[in-house]
Structures are given as structure tokens and as C-alpha cells.
Amino acid sequence: MDLQKLTLVMRRLALEAGDKIMEIYAAEDFEVRSKSDQSPVTEADEAADAIISAGLRAEFPELPLVTEEQAASHDIEAKTFLIVDPLDGTKEFVQRRGDFTVNIALVFDGSPVRGVVYAPAKGRLFYTDAGGNAVEEDGPFDKETPGQQNRIRVSKPNNAALLVVASKSHRDQATDDYISKYAVKDMKSAGSSLKFCLVATGEADLYPRVGRTMEWDTAAGHAVLVGAGGDVVHFDTHQPLRYGKEGFANPFFIAYAPGVELKKA
């Protein structure tokens, strides 16, 4: 497959979806409903999903497509597929906290190998280039022509003074108990897949997730982190986190920079 084309298309669609999301975000009010699992969904989720789905199907009709907003229709057994969360961090969006992202990724043989994470309210755009290297692009973001791309790499962690990032909306006692096993220099909270990107840039060393996530929540950030030299593993076994699982549900996991001495649960 043409990975250069894929990179440019995913980047463009993320930016287009981000524009639509910000248009709705700027409105005085917008509709918020609850899905069957009681998670929130807004018109921004649905509008962004429509933009990205149409664009990916037009450009890559041969690839199965999995998106959060069409999850009920997915029943794929393909090892290679595109996976999308058009608005990751809906709670952050609803509460106007800015920590939400557009996530688009390519999964190959169970691993996310290419991805884009765009945080429109933060003005941050992360993605893997055609060679799989993770970059953060300087704005302003032209939809057709990428700007300055800055290669990003994970940190060399100091296990006596680790930088840890955890969920802003899903922080709980189990997460705090696990983090307490480490010598932590600084602790920050962030929403959505931005947490993966903070590890990818070296702004954090460790991101443990003791809570429910789905593959579309994590695939793009996972790809960016791997492209920056990091990894994502099962919380209990420390085995690689795989994709294409039945129902697309993830186990608890740990995203980290190599060199972190991972603790058992």
C-alpha cells in the first residue's frame, strides 16, 4: 500500500474533522446524548465521523474500516484495517476542557503501524510519517501541504524521578495505587490519546490505564508512541497490546518509554 498517500490522507481528514469539531465547540450550545453504554456522544462526534469515514472509504475502499460511531455494525476478521475515533475525549469536549483529539490509525497484523492524533483545541498535531517515524508538525496546518515536521522521541527515564501522566476524566484509586509503586517526580493529568503523545515527546515517561478503553481510543496514539520508540503492553502480563480483538475492547495497559522498570500489578 502507498504509505505516503495514507499519511497525507489521514492527516488531511483529521484536520478537516478538527475544523468541524471546533465549529461546534464554539457554539453556545450543542446536543449531548447518551449511548447504550452510557458514554456521551455529540453532534461533533457524528459530524467528524462522517467526514473521516467518507474520506477513507473513497481513498482506500479495499481496507475494512472500524469507527467508534459505527461500532455496532463492525464484525471484521481482517488483520489489516483502518480504525477511527472521530472525537476522543467527548467528556473533555462537553466540559470545554480542550483535551480532545481526532484519532485515525492503520492496524497491520494486530499492531497499529501508522496513526495521526490531532488535538484541535490545543493546536497540536502528531503522526507517523511514511517511514513510521513519529513527528509533531508545527502549525498553522495547511490541509494539503504539511509544514515543519519535528521528529519526536521518548525520554531516557530516571526511575528515581519518573514523569507520569494519567487520565483526567477516569482517574481512580486503582490507578493511584499502581502509580504509588513508582518513584514519581511529577504527575500530570490529560485527556484522550494526548497521554500517549506526551510519552512520545518525552513530556512523560509512563501512562498506566486501569480502566475500560476500546481499540479506537488507543490505536492512533499507540502508533505514534511506537514511532517515537515507546511501547504499550498489557497491565498484568506486560505482553504487547494487540488489535482486532473480538468486540474491540482493550485490557488494562501501560504505555511507557523503554527504560522504565515496570512494576507488576
Residue ranges matching CATH 3.40.190.80 in the chain: 162-256
| 251 pLDDT above the threshold of 60 | yes
Residue ranges matching CATH 3.30.540.10 in the chain: 3-151
Q: Which CATH number fits domain 162-256: 3.40.190.80, 3.30.1330.20, 3.40.190.10, 3.40.50.1460?
A: 3.40.190.80
Query: pTM for the complete prediction?
Result: 0.94
**What is the DSSP pairing of strand 253-256 with strand 206-209?**
antiparallel
Alpha-carbon span 164 to 209, nearest angstrom: 11
- According to the model, what pLDDT value does residue 75 have? 62
* Beta bridge partners of residue 101, listed in sequence order: 88
CA nearest neighbour of 222 among 260, 257, 188, 193: 193
What CATH number has the domain spanning 3-151?
A: 3.30.540.10
- pLDDT tens, residue by residue, 203-238: 999 999 998 899 999 999 999 999 999 999 999 999
192 touches 170 (CB < 8 A): no
- pLDDT tens, residue by residue, 30-78: 877 766 555 667 899 999 999 999 999 999 999 999 998 776 666 667 7
Q: How far is CA 252 from CA 53, 78, 81, 194, 246, in A?
A: 28, 23, 22, 17, 16
Alpha-carbon span 131 to 113, nearest angstrom: 10
- pLDDT tens, residue by residue, 93-109: 888 889 999 999 999 99
Residue 192: which region, alpha, beta or left (left: phi > 0; alpha: psi -120 to 50)?
A: left
- According to the model, what pLDDT value does residue 122 have? 96
